[in-house]
Chains A and B, each alone.
Chain A
Amino acid sequence: MAELDESLLETLSERSQEQPITAFNGIVRFDVRDGDRVDEWYLTIAKGIVTVARKGGEPDCVVTGDVTTFDAVLSGKANAMAALLRGALAAQGKFILMTALQRLFPGSPGADGLPTAGYAERQS
């Protein structure tokens, strides 16, 4: 059975500590499907900081999808909004929380988004 790589969610949590999602509070549950099995992950957002657990309170937003899609989205290989639009992910409840959460997902691997010359100057 394939399982979601927990470290991807941990990375998300770490990223939220570096750059919290402004002023958001709420619980998002990821229902990760693999065949008949559904793994629930609770992402609790408190003042923009995300913590991850297998159990949690009443979710404000539930995002459902299979393990391959979650894996691709959380590792930057696929885009979350595009996955939602094509039905590979489905969100129920407060969509705004999913919008906020997706900002913590990584960019595309190998992206050439290097800071420009001015940036280097300011860092030195």
Chain B
Amino acid sequence: MSAEVKILDGNTFVVSDDSGDIEASLTDPTGLFSFDTRFLSRWVLTIDGQRLNPLSVDDLQYFETRFFLVPGTGTVYIDAKLSVIRQRAVGGGFHEELTILNHDDKPVDLAVRIEAACDFADLFEVKDDLKKKGEYYTRVDDGRLVLGYRRETYVRETWVSATEACAVDDGGLTFVVHVEPHEQWSTDLHVAIGRDVKGATSGSLKYERHAKKARPNMELSLEKWMGDAPSLDCDWDPLKRTYQRSLVDLAALRFSPLSLPGHYLPAAGLPWFMTMFGRDSIFTSLQALPFASELAHTTLVALGLWQGSRHDDFRDEDPGRILHEMRFGEMTAFEERPHSPYYGSVDATPLYVVLLDEYERWTGDAKLVKALERQARAALAWIDDYADLQGNGYIAYQRRNEKTGLENQCWKDSWDSISYRDGRLPGFPRATCELQGYAYDAKVRGARLARTVWRDPAFAERLEKEAADLKRRFNRDFWVKDGEYYAIALEPDGSKVDALASNNGHLLWSGIVDKSKAKAVAHHLMSPAMYSGWGVRTLAEGQGRYNPIGYHVGTIWPFDNSFIAWGLRRYGFKEEAARIAAGILDAAEFFEGRLPEAFGGYERELTKYPVQYPTSCSPQAWSTGAPLLFLRTMLGLEPIGDHLVVDPALPQGIGRLELLDIPGRWGRRDAFGRGRMDVGSRLRRGAQLGVIKPEKKPRKGKAAE
């Protein structure tokens, strides 16, 4: 399988090889996918029985690609008399314009064939290599090939058709083509999702036949999306590129919940996590608030709609709990997986209240806060009523679904992420420290909303009292005295799980850290054991389980760092926040502005470039949101009453920075800043923020797209 080419529209996407062909197996994640189901697993073009050779691929947009091909599959360049163009766009299935050009002086007669087949695999089956329980069928129906799968009442169909005359059989479409010298032949191929998740049978594409200008919904809104976002200009070109990349990727990651057509929230990652997640959608909405607050709006409404309302062990659901993940595939449909939706996350619920408050602070949209009062109260009640699994007043997690539920229900969800300094793993239930910070923040912010919007001062007072009490106990129970930092978790018996981890940064963000302890925490975060030069490691070097390429035990997560920097800023550590921003933004340049989920925790001096952690999802929503949050943090943007306060603390290398038309309750405001923070001055390579003094002029020839 050669290079993967991905295009998408919402949660419909195509992954193919670089000639545009799809040859998936049950374990090979290529094909046309929609709502977590594969709708095409084979799509192979041949001319006179020959496969085609890719010359180049043009990624036109995230929903559109063009493949240039020639006959013959050898590695040696052939002076082809024919060339083939496949231009493909996704939208309600996909549409492919197939064009064959004859460059010869003689006419040609060709047999052009498209093979099509589908296994209708659930994404979970693709990941776990499981066997299907239903039956397949194919039929030719009104000149169209119908590929189908049925299991009891579950029916999914794909319809394949073409605009030019062709012979249709169970395995595909065959065209008898005659092309005059220097002429071309063309047909439109339609792959429509015939029976989908809602049982719809329309099979309609987002195109009319021959209406070549018709495009997926997303292109129509992309222009508006970009136009609505604040515009950025600065002396340091890479930041302009990263900002553009982030906005476009965030647009691509928009997902419209079934219940809220026309409204979009950030899905977690592309392509395998194009669905609603509690934690990821909330964190990304927070990062994007100053840039696109409608993402937060839809996130709050959709998660509120699906808020837990009963006890369900299979789904780890409780009343008031915010969902973890929603899925739409066959295994979810038959309750073989709990994602309809699954509730196994403990941070999403307090973070829901945090987002609601932050959203109101930026937008002044008290109407939504009123409309979601019941949900916010239920979320706050859940913290005390259902999350206190250790019986000590702290949020903790332990799954009730032991077969298909999640063992670790915090953001560091891998098996070894929570450990002692010596590497031992604690038992369950686990009360990780950042959860207590989120709970504290939720209570403080809930109190503000109760007082200013819900007009319930008694409730506000109760929440404030609980928050103050939680803060006092937390600073006593989690503080590791001999290390001067907060333990990563508490055991049920009260033992401190004493590894030093990046969770400390989230505590600063939440505000639960005692002022007297903040300096020691900040010092740890910026120490050589934690700060690599690119960013803060998930786990400090020297801890038992530290591994620079361990998923949550040493790698650097841009999302994590964006909240750590926000936390540092909150406690007045401007320079430290700027240094973290500088490191991650430098790293972004190595990934052409698209930050990966995580990269290696190796020291910057050692590798000179950030080593990407192998991961299947890119872009990842909260990595995409990280540069946006860094901009907010570096510019010191803060809504105070009806005003936007700007208090810049920028790395020197950025030079002059302006962010224009920042939307909020004030209408639109501009923010300006100049890089004055010395975040490291070792001269080494070209304009990186973290290691060099600013250049006088912006570099030529690398302007932002």
Contact = CB atoms under 8 A, between A and B. Distances in A.
Given A85-B340, A90-B199, A108-B311, A116 B386 contact: yes
Contacts of B260: 96
Contact of A86 (B153, B312, B384): B153
Contact of B313 (A78, A104, A108): A108
A81 B313 contact: no
Given A85-B340, A87-B199, A113-B318, A103 B309 contact: yes
A106 B307 CA distance: 14
A100 B302 CA distance: 11
Contacts of B258: 95, 99
Interface string A102-117: 0111111011111111
B152 A112 contact: no
Interface in B183-199: 197-199
Interface stretch (B1-9, B57-65, B387-395): B387-395
B332 interface: yes
Contact of A122 (B154, B197, B310, B384): B384
Contacts of B330: 86
A118 B335 contact: no
Contacts of B329: 85
A85 B153 contact: no
Interface stretch (B368-376, B544-552, B566-574): B368-376
A115 B306 CA distance: 20
B197 A119 contact: no
Given A82-B333, A103-B307, A108-B312, A116 B385 contact: yes
By secondary structure, the B interface counts as loop
A8 interface: no
Nearest to B396: A116
Interface string B566-601: 000000000000000000000000000000000000
Given A113-B400, A118-B385, A22 B374 contact: yes
Nearest to A110: B313
B305 A100 contact: yes
Interface string A68-105: 00000000101101101111101100011001100111
B371 A113 contact: no
A90 B153 CA distance: 10
Chain A binding site: helix, strand, loop or mixed by DSSP? Answer: loop
Contacts of A95: 198, 258-259
B609 interface: no
B371 A23 contact: yes
Nearest to A80: B340
A44 B153 CA distance: 28
Contacts, number: 114
Given A79-B335, A90-B199, A115-B385, A85 B328 contact: yes
Given A103-B307, A105-B310, A85 B388 contact: no
Contacts of A106: 310
Nearest to B318: A113
Interface residues of B, number: 49
B181 to A, nearest CB: 53
Contact of A111 (B199, B313, B391): B313
A99 B305 contact: yes
Given A112-B400, A122-B385, A82 B334 contact: yes
A105 B155 CA distance: 25
A15 to B, nearest CB: 9
Interface string B309-322: 11111110110000
A78 B335 contact: yes
Contacts of B400: 111-113
Q: What bracket does the count of chain A residues touching chain B fall in?
A: 35 or more
A17 interface: no
A113 B313 contact: yes
Contacts of A84: 198
A81 B341 contact: yes
Contacts of A82: 332-335, 340
A82 B315 CA distance: 12
A14 B693 CA distance: 69
B409 to A, nearest CB: 15
Given A91-B198, A113-B318, A113-B386, A85 B309 contact: no
Given A81-B340, A85-B328, A22 B385 contact: no
A79 B317 CA distance: 12
Nearest to B327: A85
B306 A99 contact: yes
Interface string B136-157: 0000000000000001111100
A77 to B, nearest CB: 10
A22 B372 contact: yes
Contact of A107 (B310, B328, B375, B388): B310
Contacts of A99: 258-259, 305-306
Interface in B295-312: 304-307, 309-312
A27 B318 CA distance: 27
Nearest to A24: B305
A116 to B, nearest CB: 4
Nearest to A108: B312
Sorted from nearest, which 7 A-B pairs have the closest CB atoms?
A113-B311, A117-B391, A107-B310, A118-B388, A86-B333, A85-B333, A111-B311
Given A88-B152, A96-B259, A118-B385, 10 more contacts: A79-B340, A85-B329, A87-B152, A91-B198, A103-B307, A107-B317, A108-B311, A116-B385, A117-B388, A119-B385
23 contacts: A22-B372, A22-B373, A78-B335, A79-B312, A79-B340, A85-B332, A86-B153, A86-B333, A87-B153, A88-B153, A103-B307, A107-B312, A108-B312, A111-B311, A111-B400, A113-B312, A113-B313, A114-B311, A115-B385, A116-B387, A117-B391, A117-B392, A119-B386
Interface of B: 151-155, 197-199, 258-260, 304-307, 309-315, 317-318, 328-330, 332-335, 340-341, 371-375, 384-393, 400
Interface of A: 19-20, 22-23, 76, 78-79, 81-82, 84-88, 90-91, 95-96, 99-100, 103-108, 110-119, 122
